[in-house]
Amino acid sequence: MGIQTHKTFCRFCHANCAMLVDVEDGKVQSVRGDPDDPEYGGYTCMKGRELPDSHNAEHRLHHSLVRDANGEFRETPMAEALDHVGSEFRRIIDKYGPDSIALFMGSGGYQNSSAMMATMSLAQAIGTKHFFTSVTLDQPAKVFTTERYGKWMGGVNNFSDADVALFIGNNPIVSHYAPVGGVPPFSPSKRIRDRQKEGLKLIVADPRLAEVGQLADIYLPVKPGEDPALLAGMLNVIFEEELYDRNFVSAHVDGVEELKAAVAAFTPDVAAERAGVEKDQLVAAARMFANGSKGCAVTGTGPEMAGNGTLTEYLVCCLNTLCARFKQEGEKCGVPGVYTAQTPKRAQVAPPAPMFGVEGMAKSRFRGLGQLLFEMPCNVMADEILTPGKGQIRALISVGGNPEVGFPNQLKMRKALDDLEIFVQIDPWMSASAKRADVVLAPKQCLEREDITNLSEWWHERAYARYTEAVADAPGDVIDEYEMLWSIGKYLGVQMNLPGGPVPMDECPDKQTFLDLMTAGCLVPPSQVRQDVQAAGGAAVIYEDLHPVIEAADEEEQHKFDLAAGDMPKNLEKYGADEARAAGFDFRLISRRSKARFNSIGQPLERLGRKITTNPAYIHPDDMQQQGIADGDVIEITSPHASIHGVAKGSDRVRRGLISMAHAFGDSEAGKHNVREMGGSTNRLTSDEVDFDPITGQALQSAIPVRIAVA
Ligand code: SF4
């Protein structure tokens, strides 16, 4: 039949880059960026370009695996494997109750547009409180805590409107991630440089001079974990010099005096000293940010992983609020969200929306933590598995996650996974977690599925949408994740529900039906987008005329931001008074992203693996000399909790006193003997029981106190 070229999009990560895919006899031959796409313009990254390998690799799982009586994996037909999971779940629920079942949504699962809602729907149908997602591993504060200070119903300024931007620990050029208001992750470097030609001023704060820092007008090499000092110092300057938007603040913001009192102690001298930056640079950054007219401060995942995540996100909110970085009446809204349930877009503040600590939300048995909106913090999962008592987790299904290398306290999590009565891992590869599972369910890869662009639309400043068909044939006996979750629900006899109503449970609905049900209330339903995309020859559709415009405020309903909510000014004062360093651990290990991985995804791919064979430990050359370490030495890195190994690599882009390594790397089997091939997992160095955020449970996964020595 020859080669056929299809228009579709990548789902290796959440950026959903537009792609042209050559397929022959149902098999992916090659991929490249689609130069005609109006948003992506042909952009791809090295991970996306390896989609042929991720579909065709010989060691990809084509069949599910179930352990036999001897504990050996046995290839098992999908229907039989799902029946086995269903019957084990039934037995466990009958014996221990619904909370004994846990569901974890990981980074791999998110890339399937239906898997998140299918997982949450199954958890609710079972009636378990134990629904977890990877959000609580790296960025829970920005998702679950910031709306308690209020939310502007019109949304924040777009990056394309901005004349100034502040990126804190956010390197979108490699991570392909930014919160709303940050740079869209498709062609991020070009977008930034193009905007700079039009006058954008860029401020970057990061302990490491990463790719985006090299483009900055002001680069602040902030000490890891001391972002609150830097931000409080900038707020101090903004108050002292009255650089904030006084009209906006007097009309829309409460709690200003409390905030002003709390930042008073962070004079430029004090803040710069604690943050480890030049005082003049801090002052210049505050003036540059506040003197801009549009543009947001945003954080990556690093600042949240480095401790004080809730405080850092609060201070970022304060900066954006005092400087009124919001869309105003008559402007097009920043993120139209074609597949997002629509809410009123008005030039006013919505009432605070607490997402934790509310009556009726379930509590964990550990550390005073509890549900954040619909999910439990990952921090408590290992203890909820290992500790007998009411609600103990006895079964876990991980949807594209990799708990062995992603969760804090690796050795405890490994023990917990082994303690389960059944651990089910949905995974196309024998990942570190799959190796510990009782059942591995083999899913379709992205080009074998229908999907929509719901995961990337918070970066689309226009009403951009796609619905892709499956463009390649699925090998062996693999199915879509939503079908697996539906099958387990069907076996258990529970009713799954979605925003659009009950999911048919007699026969598995087709994907379009499932997607329509889960996006009820959106701007254009997936079934309509599918027709429009087909009419456009598979290309994206932009619904320009449906782009919502910000309406005037509803005078009947007036609310204000509250910058004193949650006693956060007092929390800042407490942080100011507490500058403890862990005695005997003179270095800080900071987390970084690897160009050849998306969290732990990509490790099994041969060509990506060749690009980065280990997880290098980047250290400043002067520190290496002082410690007697040479480039390429295997070093032992020891935290107060555990040790790992790493291969030393000199880099003058990291501050003195730091080690920079990728998180979610490697395998718990990595040690001195094989670290060059496998790479160490930094999550082994962390603890779920100390150094965690009291609201979100976010463990200290960056800025970890360590000492180093040649191994
Ligand atoms: S940025 Fe993400 S979506 Fe785009 S090509 Fe790379 S992996 Fe694929």
CATH of the domain at 242: 3.40.228.10
CA of 185 to the centre of ligand 1 (A): 9
Please choose from 12, 454, 455 the residue to mutate so as to test ligand 1's pocket, defined by most ligand atoms within 8 A of CB. Answer: 12
CA of 345 to the centre of ligand 1 (A): 31
Rounded-to-integer distance, Cα 364 and Cα 102, Å: 13
Same domain for 373 and 420, yes or no, is yes
Same domain for 360 and 494, yes or no, is yes
CA of 655 to the centre of ligand 1 (A): 29
Query: Virtual CA dihedral for 52, 58, 63, 69, nearest 10 degrees?
Result: -150
Same domain for 282 and 364, yes or no, is no
Same domain for 195 and 317, yes or no, is yes
pLDDT, one tens digit per residue, over 399-440 is: 999 999 899 999 999 999 999 999 999 999 999 999 999 999
Residue with the larger pLDDT of the pair 112 and 357: 112
218-220/451-452 β-pairing: unpaired
Q: Classify residue 347: in a domain, yes or no.
A: no
Give the domain range for residue 27.
Answer: 3-60
Please say whether the beta carbons of 5 and 22 come within 8 A: yes
Answer yes or no: is pLDDT of 613 > 90.
no
Q: Classify residue 455: in a domain, yes or no.
A: no
Q: Which atom of ligand 1 approaches the CA of 44 most closely?
A: 5
* CATH, residue 85: 3.40.50.740
Same domain for 33 and 74, yes or no, is no
Answer yes or no: is pLDDT of 639 > 90.
yes
Same domain for 478 and 511, yes or no, is yes
Same domain for 314 and 187, yes or no, is yes
**Backbone angles phi and psi of 297, in degrees to 5:** -90, 130
Please say whether the beta carbons of 273 and 226 come within 8 A: no
Cβ neighbour number for residue 352 with a 10 Å cutoff: 18
Is the four-CA dihedral 385, 388, 392, 393 of positive or negative sign? positive
Quick one: 220 exposed, middle or buried, by C-beta within 10 A (0-12, 13-18, 19+)? buried
Same domain for 301 and 441, yes or no, is no
Residue 107: predicted pLDDT:
87
Phi-psi sector, 703: left (phi>0), alpha (psi -120 to 50), beta:
left
DSSP sequence for 193-251: HHHHHTT-EEEEE-SB--TTGGG-SEEE-PPTT-HHHHHHHHHHHHHHTT-S-HHHHHH
Please choose from 13, 50, 53, 451 the residue to mutate so as to test ligand 1's pocket, defined by most ligand atoms within 8 A of CB. Answer: 13
CA of 55 to the centre of ligand 1 (A): 15
Residue 583: predicted pLDDT:
66
* CATH, residue 661: 2.40.40.20
CA of 42 to the centre of ligand 1 (A): 11
Taking residues 129-150, what's their average pLDDT?
Answer: 94
CB of 125 shorter than 6 A to ligand 1: no
CB of 13 shorter than 6 A to ligand 1: yes
Rounded-to-integer distance, Cα 157 and Cα 221, Å: 26
CB of 137 shorter than 6 A to ligand 1: no
580 — pLDDT class (breaks 50, 70, 90): low
Same domain for 531 and 651, yes or no, is no
For residue 129, give both structure tokens: 């409180």
CB of 225 shorter than 6 A to ligand 1: no
Q: Classify residue 647: in a domain, yes or no.
A: yes
CA of 14 to the centre of ligand 1 (A): 7
3-state DSSP assignment of residue 160: helix
Taking residues 220-237, what's their average pLDDT?
Answer: 96
Residue 364: predicted pLDDT:
97
Rounded-to-integer distance, Cα 174 and Cα 108, Å: 18
Residue 598: predicted pLDDT:
67
Q: Which helix (H) or strand (E) holds 497?
A: strand 497-498
Share of the chain above pLDDT 90, in %: 86
Quick one: 578 exposed, middle or buried, by C-beta within 10 A (0-12, 13-18, 19+)? exposed
201-205/704-710 β-pairing: unpaired
Residue 32: predicted pLDDT:
97
CB of 111 shorter than 6 A to ligand 1: no
**Backbone angles phi and psi of 408, in degrees to 5:** -65, 160
Answer yes or no: is pLDDT of 614 > 70.
yes
Residue 49: predicted pLDDT:
93
Of the candidates 12, 34, 60, which is a domain's last residue? 60
Residue 471: predicted pLDDT:
98
Q: Classify residue 549: in a domain, yes or no.
A: no
- Nearest Cα residue to 125 out of 658, 537, 485: 485
Answer yes or no: is pLDDT of 567 > 80.
yes
Please choose from 11, 14, 34, 44 the residue to mutate so as to test ligand 1's pocket, defined by most ligand atoms within 8 A of CB. Answer: 44
Residue nearest to atom 7 of ligand 1 (CA): 48
Q: Which residues contact 70 (CB under 8 A, 6 or more apart)?
A: none
Same domain for 533 and 588, yes or no, is no
Q: Which residues contact 217 (CB under 8 A, 6 or more apart)?
A: 201, 202, 203, 288
Cα-trace Rg, the chain: 25
Query: How many CA atoms does the CB half-sphere of 366 hold within 13 Å?
Result: 22
Angle among Cα 13, 14, 15 to the nearest 5 degrees reads 95
Average pLDDT of the chain to the nearest whole number? 94
Q: Classify residue 675: in a domain, yes or no.
A: yes
What is the predicted ipTM? Answer: 1.00
Answer yes or no: is pLDDT of 478 > 80.
yes
The size of the chain, in residues, is 711
Please choose from 10, 53, 466, 607 the residue to mutate so as to test ligand 1's pocket, defined by most ligand atoms within 8 A of CB. Answer: 10
Please say whether the beta carbons of 655 and 276 come within 8 A: yes
Of the candidates 531, 553, 572, which is a domain's last residue? 572
Please say whether the beta carbons of 658 and 645 come within 8 A: no
Please say whether the beta carbons of 568 and 313 come within 8 A: no
Same domain for 275 and 379, yes or no, is no
CA of 490 to the centre of ligand 1 (A): 34
Rounded-to-integer distance, Cα 63 and Cα 65, Å: 7
Q: Which atom of ligand 1 approaches the CA of 185 most closely?
A: 1
Rounded-to-integer distance, Cα 39 and Cα 339, Å: 17
Residue with the larger pLDDT of the pair 557 and 448: 448
Q: Which atom of ligand 1 approaches the CA of 11 most closely?
A: 3
Q: Classify residue 334: in a domain, yes or no.
A: no
Residue 691: predicted pLDDT:
87
* CATH, residue 40: 2.20.25.90
464-465/541-542 β-pairing: antiparallel
Q: Classify residue 548: in a domain, yes or no.
A: no
Number of domains in the chain: 4
Residue with the larger pLDDT of the pair 364 and 593: 364
Same domain for 29 and 68, yes or no, is no
Please say whether the beta carbons of 378 and 134 come within 8 A: yes
- Side by side, the strands of the sheet bearing 3-9 are 3-9, 18-24, 27-33
Q: Classify residue 230: in a domain, yes or no.
A: yes
Answer yes or no: is pLDDT of 592 > 90.
no
Beta pairing partners, 479: 443
Please choose from 11, 45, 50, 460 the residue to mutate so as to test ligand 1's pocket, defined by most ligand atoms within 8 A of CB. Answer: 45
CB of 45 shorter than 6 A to ligand 1: yes
CB of 596 shorter than 6 A to ligand 1: no
Residue with the larger pLDDT of the pair 194 and 668: 194
